[in-house]
Amino acid sequence: MPPSQSFNEKEYDRWYATPLGRAYGAEARAAILPHLPERGSALDVGCGTGFYTLFLARRGLKTVGVDASEAMLRIALEKAQRQGVQAEFRHAPAEELPFPPASFDLVLSMNMLEFSRSPEGALAEMLRVLRPHGVLLLGVMNRKSLWGLTQRLKRPFVQGVYYGARFYTRGELRAMLPGAEIKEAVFLPPINFAIGLGPIFRLLPGALLVARVEKA
């Protein structure tokens, strides 16, 4: 995921170590975990600093992370080497994936489509490199969640990690991926000090929309 002009890749990576970042990451991983294959190859599109790439690799999948930001990839590679995790990283935009058709059993993309210059093109590329009967898992921020509302209110004043990002509704996601199974996830407040109120926020729309598509 590309950082905004005022939110650099190191700050982006450190966010996952904050209380909110840890809680968000745990719920997002839990949402995709049931859909992961037990073995095979995986591609993480818009891998950023490797948060999900390393998660997939630790699950025993032969994993490649791809991102348009070389700075993000440097951090991802350093983390993989430091943690002793086997993963490959490639520099490329989501709209031009450097792989032959039907290369992967799983294609994962978390919070990348919000920044894509061509969401339809990126989705077409992800489906192109997916093997028959493979699974595409796509996570995007939910415009109708409290996170979406907060982002719209902050946008004129704060250029954070999602500055300039496009959040999606369930209907928009379904229009781009007909037949997809779509669920909400990450029922957390978008501020650190309110994490303890998590049960209350489970009554509200989830921050993340997760779509699952199995290729015919």
Q: Are 115 and 137 in contact (CB under 8 A)?
A: no
Q: pLDDT grade, residue 203 (50/70/90)?
A: confident
pLDDT band at 193 (very low <50, low <70, confident <90, very high): low
| Beta strands at 181-185 and 208-214: parallel, antiparallel or unpaired | antiparallel
How many domains does the chain fold into? 1
Q: In this structure, what token pair is assigned to residue 132?
A: 């028959």
* pLDDT tens readout for residues 64-81: 999 999 999 999 999 999
Mean pLDDT of 110-123: 96
- Across the range 192-204, mean pLDDT stands at 65
Tell me the range of 37-46, 144-153, 155-164, 196-205 where mean pLDDT is highest.
37-46
Q: What's the pLDDT score for residue 153?
A: 76
Classify residue 113 by burial, with Cβ atoms within 10 Å: 0-12, 13-18, 19+: buried
* Residue given tokens 């950023």 in the structure block: 48
Arithmetic mean of pLDDT, 145-160: 74
DSSP state, residue 168: B
> Residue 188 pLDDT > 50, yes or no?
yes
pLDDT computed for residue 56 by the predictor = 98
193 inside domain: yes
79 assigned to some structural domain: yes
Largest CA distance in the chain: 46
Question: Which domain, by its residues, includes 190?
Answer: 9-214
Look at residue 86 and tell me if it is in a domain.
yes
Report the pLDDT averaged over residues 129-133.
98
pLDDT at 156: 56
Determine, yes or no, domain membership for 166.
Answer: yes
Going by C-beta distance under 8 Å and a sequence separation of 6 or more, which residues neighbour residue 33? none
Q: Is the dihedral of CA 210, 191, 6, 148 positive or negative?
A: positive
Amino acid type, 191: I
Is 2 within a domain?
Answer: no
pLDDT at 4: 41
pLDDT (mean) for 179-202: 77
- Residue 125 maps to which CATH number? 3.40.50.150
Note whether residue 89 is domain-resident: yes
Locate 127 and state its tokens. 């489906």
Q: How many CB atoms lie within 10 A of CB 17?
A: 9
The pLDDT, as a whole number, for residue 216 is 92
pLDDT at 8 over 90: no
Does the residue 3 lie in any domain?
Answer: no
Asked whether residue 112 is assigned to any structural domain, the reply reads yes
